[in-house]
Amino acid sequence: MLTTFRKATKGVGAWVVLGLAILAFAFVGVPTLSGSGGQEAIRVGGTVFEVAAVEEEFSRRFQRQQRGENAPASREEAVAAGLLDQVVRDYGLRALILEEADTLGLAVSPEMLTTYLRAQPAFLDEDGEFDSNRFNRVLAANQLSLTELRDRLSLELIEGQLNRAVATGVGAPAILAQSLALRQGEERDVSLVTFSAPEIAAPSEENLRQYYEERQGRYRTGEARGFTYLLLTDDTIGAEIAISDEDVRQLYDARVGSLGTPEIRSLTQAQFRDASAARDALAAIEAGAAFNDAVEAAGGTLATLDGVTESAIADQAVAEAAFAAASPAILGPIDGIFGTVLVNLTQIVPATTPSFEEVREDLEAALRQEDLGQRIDDIYTEIQFAGDDGTPLAEAAQGLDLSAVTISPKPLAALQDDDRLPPALLAAVFTTAPGAYFEEVRLPEGGVAFFELGEIVPSSVQPFEAVEEEVATDWRTDQRIEALRGVREAVMSAIADGQSFADAVAAEGETVSTRTLSANVLNDDLPPALVEAIFSRPIGEVLDALGSDRTDLTLAKVEDVRFIAPSTAPSLAQLRQTLSRDIATDLFEAYLLSAEQDYGIRVNDGLLAERFGTAP
């Protein structure tokens, strides 16, 4: 299928095929998985994702949303906003890629995966080196296991292989880049006017109550949840941990070789194609020539390494020779992996070893963290056993001389300012489906939280008295918008009767101004929707948009259009490169659509509806 698809996208017909495929990608539906047993939520060919995986991914994304602004108040709101649709679609695409990879025999070796993982920017320290602490923090923050991360990175690597295979040789035609460049340099002359909303008289209580009754959906409370939780952190159980001086001393003795700084050396290495050239250079050096001059005269290449450890030198033979020397010297010839090498060893900085007192505090903290982890693991096991026996969390905690805390039902917004409650715990509490028991949360800041859901109070409409002020604000906003719409209708009606734009505006008490807008200049004093319309609609059309605070309305009429050619060749080349990347992306999406038509994506809507309360 891959070869056939690539042939179909070559030549003149490529644009037709690609265009149709991309259009279809937006409209093809996903068939329902009917008659399937078990917990299968999504099936593509032989690849299956169970509902538990969908629930876990949904919860993970919902928790990320909870850390941002304008977050949905409940799982139901997140589902209604399309989060479940997105998760289902992403899993379907993931399954498509895995199926196609299996058909084509694509695979990711452990070595490829390790190299790719260690190169991820999120896991690197300030020096660009892989940092295991950052790695673990990222996993904890995203509630990912190592296996889940490996699966995701493997999928990325396979997707990359498919993407390169599909998009190799694809480029944007020069004429397309030139046309778009002209479009980016486009200028438009427009006539503009802004109408401010009139003052709105204070509403009567009857007005407000009627408005409230007609729009009760706006004034619902968020879902309230009660729960019991137990925190296993240094603050809650760390007081029991005692670290002896003997334990710290033993750890120092065990780690003393790795506590200080390693020996580093600075050197210049010269690479030669053959041994005779290296010997000629060495002879010249011994006769008094400068190292670099002798190397260049003999046709060698130079590379300087400043302050490197032995492991940082790629050629093992060179590394061993450089770190075996007792003092700076000329070393070689050395039989390296890429030819014969001479080394000018210029500096040796010995390894350092800190005293016990210098690292005592850090070692004690490390031991404390280790003991804390063991203590958490022990309690974790006991809590799990209690949960299996049906013991409530509060009772299980009491049996271990720990104190669980019970929170009465409250909406998420009312709990987010409580410093006792870690954000990760709250996110889990408000994303976990009812019926879960003794759920655990790995906290990014360290430790574990257990929680048990209690009473759940569904979202409900707040009484008028509780939201009267908010209702009044909304009523005034809607009244202003209605008044502005009336002005717009009057202007448009006058234009339809034959008046000019300027005369129609003047009849409403305002004056038109003229202005030239450029496509490549930010026009942030105008509503973004209006600017977009100005550059997409024909000459003569009258356009309108409300301001960001919805207290004014701007009308615009496009009077003239001009195109400005790009001034430099590099800008055109960069644009063509960007277009080529975009086309490659669209082509890969079309390829996935073709794979979808081959394998089919089947979704168990009934099971998802049961778990989430509504079908995706």
Give the per-residue pLDDT at 38. 54
Identify the residue whose tokens are 């939201």: 467
Split at pLDDT 50, 70, 90, the class of 503 is very high
In the chain, the N- to C-terminal Cα span, in Å, equals: 30
Is the pLDDT at 145 greater than 90? The verdict is no
CA distance 232 to 255: 29
Asked if 544 and 530 count as a contact pair (C-beta separation under 8 A), the reply is yes
Identify the residue whose tokens are 């992996």: 337
Q: pTM for this structure?
A: 0.44
Give the per-residue pLDDT at 389. 78
Split at pLDDT 50, 70, 90, the class of 6 is very low
Distances 205 to 198, 463, 467, 511 between C-alpha atoms, Å: 21, 14, 13, 38
Give the per-residue pLDDT at 567. 54
Is the pLDDT at 603 greater than 70? The verdict is yes
Sheet holding 224-232, edge to edge: 405-411, 224-232, 448-457, 439-442
Higher pLDDT among residues 31 and 193, named by residue: 193
Give the per-residue pLDDT at 143. 66
Give the per-residue pLDDT at 149. 81
Identify the residue whose tokens are 């301001």: 547
Split at pLDDT 50, 70, 90, the class of 327 is very high
Residues of the chain above pLDDT 70, percent: 88
- 262-276, 278-292, 317-331, 358-372: which range is least confident on average? 358-372
Q: What is the pLDDT of residues 196-237, one digit of tens each?
A: 998 888 999 999 999 999 998 888 888 899 999 999 888 888
For residue 448, the one-letter residue type is V
Q: Retrieve residue 259's tokens.
A: 């506590």
Asked if 478 and 467 count as a contact pair (C-beta separation under 8 A), the reply is no
Distances 545 to 152, 474, 504, 558 between C-alpha atoms, Å: 43, 19, 17, 14
Give the per-residue pLDDT at 68. 65
Closest CA to 342 of 266, 269, 288, 267: 269
Asked if 42 and 604 count as a contact pair (C-beta separation under 8 A), the reply is yes
CA distance 60 to 545: 37
Is the pLDDT at 443 greater than 90? The verdict is no
DSSP of 236-292: HHGGG----HHHHHHHHHHHHHHHSBPPEEEEEEEEESSHHHHHHHHHHHHTT--HH
Give the per-residue pLDDT at 616. 40
Asked if 420 and 443 count as a contact pair (C-beta separation under 8 A), the reply is no
Distances 348 to 259, 262, 311 between C-alpha atoms, Å: 19, 11, 15
Is the pLDDT at 25 greater than 70? The verdict is no
Burial class (CB in 10 A: 0-12, 13-18, 19+), 137: middle
Closest CA to 63 of 429, 539, 436: 429
Q: Retrieve residue 419's tokens.
A: 């410093």
For residue 480, the one-letter residue type is R
Q: What is the pLDDT of residues 531-589, one digit of tens each?
A: 999 988 999 999 999 988 888 999 999 999 988 766 554 567 777 788 888 888 888 88
Closest CA to 165 of 602, 592, 541, 513: 592
CA distance 451 to 231: 9
| Residue 299 DSSP symbol | T
CA distance 13 to 23: 16
Q: What is the pLDDT of residues 168-206, one digit of tens each?
A: 777 778 777 777 777 777 889 999 999 999 888 899 999
Asked if 332 and 321 count as a contact pair (C-beta separation under 8 A), the reply is yes
Give the per-residue pLDDT at 167. 74
| Residue 463 DSSP symbol | P
Give the per-residue pLDDT at 19. 33
Higher pLDDT among residues 448 and 34, named by residue: 448
Q: How confident is the model over 481-500, as a mean pLDDT?
A: 94
| Residue 462 DSSP symbol | P
CA distance 551 to 82: 30
Q: How confident is the model over 310-334, as a mean pLDDT?
A: 90
CA distance 92 to 592: 10
Asked if 349 and 329 count as a contact pair (C-beta separation under 8 A), the reply is no
Largest CA distance in the chain: 106
Is the pLDDT at 595 greater than 90? The verdict is no
Is the pLDDT at 32 greater than 70? The verdict is no
| Residue 564 DSSP symbol | -
CA distance 381 to 440: 12
Sheet holding 47-50, edge to edge: 47-50, 40-44, 602-603
CA distance 151 to 148: 5
Is the pLDDT at 274 greater than 80? The verdict is yes
Give the per-residue pLDDT at 186. 84
Give the per-residue pLDDT at 613. 66
Helix (H, G, I), strand (E, B) or coil at 559: strand
